Amino acid sequence: MPTCIIMPKMDKIATHGTIVKWLRTNGGEVRKGDVIGTVESSKASIDIEAPESGFFLQRFPVGSAVCVGQVIAYILQANESASDVELSNDEKPETFDGSVSNSVHVRKDAEKIKKRALASPLVKKLAKDLEIDLSEVIGTGISGKITKQDVTSSAERGESQKTTCEDELIPLSGWRKTMAERMSQSIRTAAEVTTIAEVDATALVNLRESLRPLEKNLQTRITYTALAVKAVAVALQEYPLVNSFLIGDNIVLKKRKNIGFAVSREEAGLVVPVVHEADKKKIVEIAKDIEDLTKKARENRLLPEDVNGGTFTVTNPGILGVIMDTPIINPPQSAILGIGAIVSRPAVVDGEVLIRSVMYLSLSYDHRVIDGAPAIRFLQRVKKILENPSQLLDNQLSDLLQTRE
């Protein structure tokens, strides 16, 4: 019987994956363990290995978006042919002439996955009258339901959204579509509040500069993001409610402090790799994790385990010069910390006006889970750690610094 190869679930939210490439042609011989293709979700890509030796038969071509768990290819034995493959009538490819060495023609495009428009009959009628495609409207009602206001707003934007032959259309698909859906989900469901704190980052800048000469010996750069991730991990141990999910009617306190950090991949989009158990790692280990994961993200080599399991997220738009922002929570997490750019400003210190390095921290949190007071205390704790960053160093690294001085 032919061996099925299915579309794997590459992360917790993935409903489908895209076939990026096949490394074998139909009828080509493969051995068990051979990499036969690559698939990707909005977060990660993964190589597909042959589960058995035999002859390869693809079910969907490159570029197809296929539901998780659906068969994407088969391994046939020498006495088997395409006629042995059981497919539903609407997805059945043209069969072989009996030999696996001959080519087969499979369906060129997987059936598009469309969400069902959630709207009342009245709203559907209004959309029809206004010539609005409900599948293109993001619902702001309960559970994503499309409201009358959503339709009328879409209609009002209609003229500005009309395209001409001079315009370029970029499909909202893949990672961008997933990100749009998750951010919309966050805004619809979370009672999101953002609190901002000013940090005197002078000591942080001095520490960062003192660590630069050690980078070759440490074999990594200890960046501001790494220092912030470590500071957050320390603070989460004292404020566990910030490291929680709201699942149904239960608040789930996550024991592991798995800190995600946002990485911009230019045209490839934003992705959030995860430093697992950051509270148990030294700052050098965190820095190496961030460096390795960032490289993998920008080369589109992230694996499912690299992006799954996050319990809190840090985003650093400051590297692009942004002073502060109001980051959106990454569901099902309950909080996210934004880090602003470090700038030099005059400040009053012990009655004197001095030039200090200053940055802003923006904590967005779900008020359904975290009250204002504990959220502010957590933010103040992170602020205090970053203003006194030497406590983030382990004894060995501290000794290296003292020796160099």
Beta carbons of 324 and 340 less than 8 angstroms apart: yes
| DSSP reduced 3-state for 331 | coil
62 to 46, 95, 110, 249, 302: CA distances (angstroms): 14, 19, 10, 42, 20
Q: Could you name the CATH architecture of 3-91?
A: Beta Barrel (2.40)
Task: Output the CA torsion 317→323→326→330 (10° steps).
Answer: 20
Q: How far apart are CA 251 and CA 244, in angstroms?
A: 7
Beta carbons of 72 and 39 less than 8 angstroms apart: yes
Other C-beta atoms closer than 10 Å to the C-beta of 241 total 17
Q: How far apart are CA 203 and CA 220, in angstroms?
A: 21
Q: What is the pLDDT of residues 67-121, one digit of tens each?
A: 888 889 999 988 887 666 754 334 443 333 333 333 333 333 333 323 334 788 8
Per-residue pLDDT of the chain (405 residues; tens, 9 = 90+): 788 898 888 776 677 888 989 998 888 899 998 999 998 876 677 889 999 999 999 888 888 888 888 889 999 988 887 666 754 334 443 333 333 333 333 333 333 323 334 788 888 888 888 878 787 777 777 666 788 888 887 776 654 455 555 566 666 666 667 767 777 777 777 889 999 999 999 999 999 999 999 998 899 999 999 999 999 999 999 999 999 998 888 999 999 999 999 998 876 678 999 999 999 999 999 999 999 999 999 888 888 899 999 999 999 999 999 999 999 999 899 999 999 999 999 988 888 999 999 999 999 999 999 999 999 999 999 999 999 999 999 888 888 888 776
**Residue 216: what residue type?**
K
pLDDT reported for residue 207? 95
Q: How far apart are CA 227 and CA 284, in angstroms?
A: 10
pLDDT reported for residue 12? 65
pLDDT reported for residue 26? 87
Q: Evaluate the omega torsion of the peptide bond into residue 61 and state whether it is cis, within 30 degrees of 0.
A: no
Q: How far apart are CA 77 and CA 59, in angstroms?
A: 16
Q: How far apart are CA 275 and CA 296, in angstroms?
A: 13
- Catalytic residue IDs: 367, 371
* CATH C-level class of 190-404: alpha beta
Beta carbons of 334 and 192 less than 8 angstroms apart: no
Look-up of token digits 């499909």: 171
Q: Is the pTM of this model over 0.85?
A: no
Beta carbons of 327 and 342 less than 8 angstroms apart: no
Task: Output the CA torsion 118→119→120→121 (10° steps).
Answer: -110
CATH number of 114-158: 4.10.320.10
Secondary element (H or E) of residue 70: none
**Residue 34: what residue type?**
D
CA 227 to chain centre: 21
Q: How far apart are CA 109 and CA 189, in angstroms?
A: 34
| DSSP reduced 3-state for 16 | strand
pLDDT reported for residue 99? 38
| DSSP reduced 3-state for 234 | helix
Q: How far apart are CA 119 and CA 127, in angstroms?
A: 10
pLDDT reported for residue 255? 95
**CA dihedral sign of residues 100, 105, 106, 108:** positive
Look-up of token digits 């598009």: 112
Residue-range domain boundaries for the chain: 3-91, 114-158, 190-404
